[in-house]
Amino acid sequence: MTAPPMAEAVPVAAPTGLRRTLSSLRHDLPALISITLLVLLALAAILAPILAPHPPLQTYPEGLAANGAPIGPGHGFPLGTDPNGRDVLARLLYGARVSLVIGILANGLATIVGVIVGLVAGYLGGWVETILMRLTDVVMSFPILLFCIALISVTGPSERNVVIVIALIYWTTLARIIRSQVLSLREREFVVAARTMGLSHWRIMRKHLFPHLVPTIIVYATLGVASSILIEASLSFLGVGVPVPTASWGQMIEQGKEYFQIAPWLLFAPGVCLVLTVLAFNLAGDWLRDLLDPTAPERR
């Protein structure tokens, strides 16, 4: 937001004050738990170099049993080791970084694209809308994983490509939601007024439409992070995601799956983290939706 032209503008209780946010958290146990989880997760990812007992890529001969099998939790490796003798906890912490960064970046990109497409299509209408929304339909009609695998097999697996590919398919839902909101917003009298006073399209979209879309955007961006993390995990699990030896949760599951009978911690550690993270993002998204838009009906 640009600085208001009125110098003495008194600050007023915004629709979502900090106090209301906190009190709403206090009355909503799932939200409180999910926000706590997300904070812990972020801390774990950020502090990975400090928290991790070992470097994530280091292989330890003493981390393998005499027969070459990974060893379980304990013995200097809190969550055990993987078949290469690497510390699972360290990989988990560093994997959180990869998963979170990819999830947030990919979904951030998708959100930007979705908002622009939806806003422009809904506001301008006409042939612009037809082209943009048909494009949205086309992208939506692709099977997500198949589309990602096809794209990555062309571009080659790398963290950057995973982000781009996820963003390329994930903007569509938000584009549709934003467009439908804009369609109803543009008939509101203050938007019609903005048009009749001769403001530019750009300014109308920026100052008279966008601020009213922010609650929706925040909610769907939050929910979308969970989906993006899941896709990243799926892609890594399928071997077209984050390339080895970098740790990501999906890839840890992929590598651990062959050993799950003798070393179940290889699956459980990243699996539990994945489930909790996705759950936390979803619950936080639900909570934000209720917080920012108390009158809106339930919708997904």
Note the residues at the interface with other proteins (CB under 8 A): 4-10, 12, 188-190, 192-200, 203, 207-208, 211-212
- The residue whose two tokens read 């539990």 is 272
Minimum distance from residue 184 beta carbon to other proteins (Å)? 12
Minimum distance from residue 144 beta carbon to other proteins (Å)? 32
Question: Cβ closer to other proteins: 12 or 66?
Answer: 12
Question: Cβ closer to other proteins: 154 or 202?
Answer: 202
Question: Cβ closer to other proteins: 211 or 245?
Answer: 211
Instruction: Answer whether 110's CB lies under 8 Å from 296's CB.
Output: no
Minimum distance from residue 96 beta carbon to other proteins (Å)? 37
Question: Cβ closer to other proteins: 178 or 253?
Answer: 178
* DSSP conformation letters of 159-209: HHHHHHHHHHHHTHHHHHHHHHHHHHHTTSHHHHHHHHTT--HHHIIIIII
User: Cis ω on the peptide bond leading into residue 245 (within 30° of 0)?
Assistant: yes
What are the phi and psi torsion angles at 74 (to 5°)? 105, -175
Cβ-based burial of 220 (10 A; exposed 0-12, middle 13-18, buried ≥19) = buried
Question: Cβ closer to other proteins: 198 or 297?
Answer: 198
How far is it, in rounded angstroms, from Cα 260 to Cα 271?
12
Minimum distance from residue 265 beta carbon to other proteins (Å)? 51
How far is it, in rounded angstroms, from Cα 89 to Cα 49?
11
Minimum distance from residue 206 beta carbon to other proteins (Å)? 11
CA angle 37, 38, 39 (to 5 degrees): 90
Instruction: Answer whether 284's CB lies under 8 Å from 267's CB.
Output: no
Question: Cβ closer to other proteins: 15 or 49?
Answer: 15
Minimum distance from residue 187 beta carbon to other proteins (Å)? 10
